[in-house]
Structure 1
Amino acid sequence: MRINKYLANHGVCSRREADRLIQAGDVRINDRVAVLGDDVGEEDVVFTNGLPVNPETDEIYLAYHKPRGVEVTHATDVAQNLPRSLGLHEHVFAVGRLDKDSSGLLLVTNNGDIVNKILKPVGGHEKEYLVHVRRPMTKSFLEKMAEGVTVEGRPTRTASVERQNKNAFKIIITEGRNRQIRKMVEALGNEVTTLKRTRVMNIKLGHLKQGQARPLSRKEKSTLFQLLGID
């Protein structure tokens, strides 16, 4: 297994961050400094920043209902960062962005390879949101949200949009630009008041209360891996 994939699979960091650590000379395989493209065998011991990577670390897969105000960051100077909010000491990744003012479903895992597969731009994996806006929506507004909106010089992909009431709609998107839905709404002259993610691929928020997390069921993990092409 390639060294960057090994580090991602064992929850150390993403593949991109692994490449950065390797290039900086912070990764060793046994008694030598690792280089990009190295393979890791079953008998090898890998170290990052002088500490051994534990190959027996249990994989974590959680559905977490992120409340508004929690930042999806590991920065220790942020009081409500992700690990503290979950009560975890392990290094974990959140799948996809949810800004501080948004709430809803986050998939949380220590398997960096899963994160890369879900977030890969060509993947087209669905994410569903419930959005409330300040001013009543027109038919034209909903049609444009579905057809795609030019944001920062690039059109968004087509989306599935369903009106809930005069100030709320559901939207399913297959990309994940930074604050994408908020920027789409603003480009059409309205303003998001609340935004909640309700689904990522086959994983649903359901009745999970704000601030609570639950492990994915065996069926959820099996379906997720199947959708991602993982054996």
Structure 2
Amino acid sequence: MALVRISHYLALCGVASRRQSARLIDAGRVTINQHLATHTERVDPLLDLNICVDGQPILAQQEKQYWLYHKPVGVDCRLLINDPSSLIHVLPHSPRLYPAGRLDKDSRGLLLLTNDGELTQALMHPDFHHTKTYVVQVDKPLTSQFLNDMARGVSYGKVQTRPCSISLINPTTFEIVLTQGLNRQIRRMCQALGFKVIDLLRTKLMTVCLDDLPEKTMRPVSAAELLSLQQLS
């Protein structure tokens, strides 16, 4: 196998996606043979390497794992060992899984957990416009103007969101399908239009559905679901 960048190697080993691994390197949390790693370094995946993250040795590539998790409100998707609310305290010690995309701490619903860095990179890349579906409750009755404005895309700060699909469920609840994954995007879109989000549930990631998976539980991704994710990514 050819030499690969250290961020790519960390993704292959299931530490994080390449983008998340690059952040670990930027933060000075990755070492190679006891010196700080840089983005330009390349390694041979076939060699026995002394690579550590936060001082902990990285295990060689492991069999790929794919799980769905119904995240409750209050769990933080950032993998911070010192944060009692972090998702890291929910995940198994081995294999090391991480979320392919996040839900903010105040939101709940479907998370894909994996150690497949390549799939994660493809699913999270903004150029592919992968769909994510949410059910959202707000603090007052919805209007046709609100639904139209959300569908066209909303401006807040320096952001202009992409057009999206939206449908009314009941007077204060709607379903929305996004092709972006901006930080707290739905909450900020609603706030810009004068509404406050009361509850936010992610029900679908592309073709994979939350269905009746109980809150705080995990299940393996089925072969058919995995195939659809791989084909669509």
TM band (smaller chain): 0.7 to 0.9
Distance apart, 1:189 and its partner CA: 0.6
Query: 1:133-173 CA deviation, whole Å, 9 max, x = no partner?
Result: 11000101001110000021221000000100111000000
2:50 matched to 1:47?
yes
Q: Distance in 2 between matches of 1:41 and 1:69?
A: 37
Q: Which residue does the alignment assign to 2:167?
A: 162
Distance apart, 1:131 and its partner CA: 0.3
Q: Distance in 1 between matches of 2:206 and 2:132?
A: 6
Q: Which residue does the alignment assign to 1:193?
A: 198
1:223 to 212, 228, 233: 228
1:119 to 120, 124, 127: 124
In structure 1, runs of 5+ residues without a counterpart are none
- Please say if residues 45 and 52 of structure 1, whose CA atoms lie closer than 8 Å, have aligned partners that are also in contact: no
In structure 2, runs of 5+ residues without a counterpart are none
Identity percentage over the alignment?
A: 36
Q: Distance in 1 between matches of 2:21 and 2:102?
A: 20
2:116 matched to 1:133?
no
Instruction: Please report the TM-score for the alignment, with normalisation by the length of structure 2.
Output: 0.86
Aligned 1:40-189 pairs, distance under 5 A:
40-42=44-46, 44-49=47-52, 53-86=58-91, 88-90=92-94, 91-189=96-194
Q: Distance in 2 between matches of 1:56 and 1:105?
A: 26
User: RMSD in angstroms over aligned alpha carbons?
Assistant: 2.4
Paired residues in the alignment total 224
Distance apart, 1:33 and its partner CA: 8.9
- Please say if residues 68 and 101 of structure 1, whose CA atoms lie closer than 8 Å, have aligned partners that are also in contact: yes
Q: Distance in 2 between matches of 1:98 and 1:140?
A: 27
Q: Which residue does the alignment assign to 1:13?
A: 16
